[in-house]
């Protein structure tokens, strides 16, 4: 198992945001985490990505406990979280954002020590390697034609896709996506669906959270439904979505 989450709990003061959550992710699958607003989805993803520390419980990555690693250390292990709304620089182009996002990739290629030597310029050949990598990822995320556009000119869907592309530069084995479809129109969702299926076929395992069932219901192989911080159903996505307790949670019963 790639990721094994055991008895994960996160309390904020008196509020239990994530309660005894347990699930596993196998290599190569798309896992959906559903739940109404406030059910603990983002907190769960942030715990896995090292952004938050669990109150109790364990997160095993390939059998090793990563629950106390920093987000950077977690990303170095191959687990990368993309943000719901990436913070972009309006006056920088798509490819310039990609170059900024390369820093982790460079660290992996060269080691942090060598990164310091880059301040005076890239070693011969590395810049070409990175540009190749950037072009590959832009093509995979269907952003090649917007390579030289300013971020300010991107649609909302384009901005979110750039966030995914920047995450992909870290060469994740597991990509954690926080509501990638929220706020997107019909065509943008179809595009996102196709890109995420392509990422899967390139060997990336995906864990995606969503508070709506439509998009992720079609995409996820398996799903976990959260309600009030706890898992109320898990298994094949169609079975989870048909589960009575899941239907009731969505209807507010
Ligand atoms: P979801 O992503 O499903 O909408 P969240 O994980 O964001 O849910 O939140 C779960 C619960 O934890 C909510 O009640 C939310 O208000 C609370 N919460 C999330 N983050 C914090 C925080 N940093 N401090 C206090 N409460 C928080």
CA of 241 from ligand 1 middle (Å) equals 23
Ligand 1 pocket test, candidate residues 11, 12, 34, 52, most atoms within 8 A of CB: 12
Per-residue pLDDT, 118:
46
Q: What is the pLDDT of residues 46-58, one digit of tens each?
A: 999 999 999 999 9
pLDDT score of 119 more than 50? no
pTM (predicted TM-score): 0.89
Per-residue pLDDT, 107:
56
Atom of ligand 1 nearest to the CA of 45: 6
Percent of the chain with pLDDT over 70: 89
Q: What is the value of ipTM here, to two decimals?
A: 0.98
* Coil, strand or helix at 248: helix
Contact 236, 222 (CB under 8 A): yes
Kindly list the domain boundaries of the chain, sorted by start residue. Answer: 3-251
Question: Tokens at residue 114, please?
Answer: 């060598």
Beta strands at 56-61 and 3-12: parallel, antiparallel or unpaired: antiparallel
Atom of ligand 1 nearest to the CA of 42: 2
What's the rounded Cα separation, in Å, for the pair 122 and 115? 9
CATH topology (fold) of 3-251: Rossmann fold (3.40.50)
Per-residue pLDDT, 169:
85
Please give the distance of CA 12 from its chain centroid, rounded to a whole number: 23
Q: What is the pLDDT of residues 178-193, one digit of tens each?
A: 999 999 999 999 999 9
Atom of ligand 1 nearest to the CA of 52: 23
Spatial CB neighbours of 238, under 8 Å, sequence gap ≥ 6: 217
Handedness of CA 186, 187, 192, 194 (dihedral sign): positive
CA of 18 from ligand 1 middle (Å) equals 9
pLDDT score of 223 more than 90? yes
Asked whether 10 lines ligand 1 (CB < 6 A), one says: no
pLDDT score of 153 more than 80? yes
pLDDT score of 108 more than 80? no
Atom of ligand 1 nearest to the CA of 178: 2
Ligand 1 pocket test, candidate residues 40, 229, 249, most atoms within 8 A of CB: 40
DSSP 143-195: -GGGTTSBGGGS-HHHHHHHHHHHHHTT--SEEEEESTTTT--HHHHHHHHHH
Per-residue pLDDT, 82:
85
Confidence bin at 137 (pLDDT 50/70/90): very high
* Coil, strand or helix at 105: helix
Nearest-CA residue for ligand 1 atom 5 is 40
Give, in order, the Cα–Cα distances in Å from 45 to each of 42, 175, 236. Answer: 5, 10, 20
Nearest-CA residue for ligand 1 atom 17 is 17
Pick from 50-54, 136-140, 168-172, 236-240: least confident: 168-172
Question: pLDDT higher for 100 or 42?
Answer: 42
Spatial CB neighbours of 145, under 8 Å, sequence gap ≥ 6: none
């Amino acid at each position: 198992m790639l990721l094994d989450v055991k008895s994960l709990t996160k309390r904020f003061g008196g509020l239990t945001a994530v309660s005894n959550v347990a699930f596993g992710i196998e290599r190569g699958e798309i896992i959906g985490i559903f739940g109404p607003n406030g059910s603990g989805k983002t907190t769960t993803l942030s715990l896995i990505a090292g952004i938050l520390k669990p109150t109790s419980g364990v997160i095993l990555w390939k059998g090793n406990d990563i629950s106390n690693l920093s987000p950077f250390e977690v990303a170095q292990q191959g687990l990368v979280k993309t943000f719901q709304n990436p913070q972009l620089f309006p006056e920088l182009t798509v490819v310039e954002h990609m170059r900024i996002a390369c820093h982790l990739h460079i660290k992996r290629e060269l080691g942090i020590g060598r990164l310091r030597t880059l301040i005076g310029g890239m070693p011969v050949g590395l810049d070409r390697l990175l540009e190749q990598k950037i072009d590959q990822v832009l093509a995979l995320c269907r952003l090649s034609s917007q390579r030289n556009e300013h971020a300010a000119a991107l649609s909302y869907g384009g901005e979110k896709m750039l966030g995914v592309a920047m995450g992909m530069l870290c060469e994740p084995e597991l990509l954690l996506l926080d509501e990638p479809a929220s706020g997107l129109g019909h065509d943008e969702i179809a595009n996102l669906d196709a890109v995420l299926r392509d990422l899967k076929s390139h060997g990336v395992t995906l864990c995606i959270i969503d508070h709506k069932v439509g998009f992720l219901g079609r995409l996820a192989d398996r799903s976990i439904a959260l309600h009030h911080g706890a898992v109320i159903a898990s298994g094949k996505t169609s079975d989870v979505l048909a589960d009575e307790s899941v239907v009731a949670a969505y209807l507010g019963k």
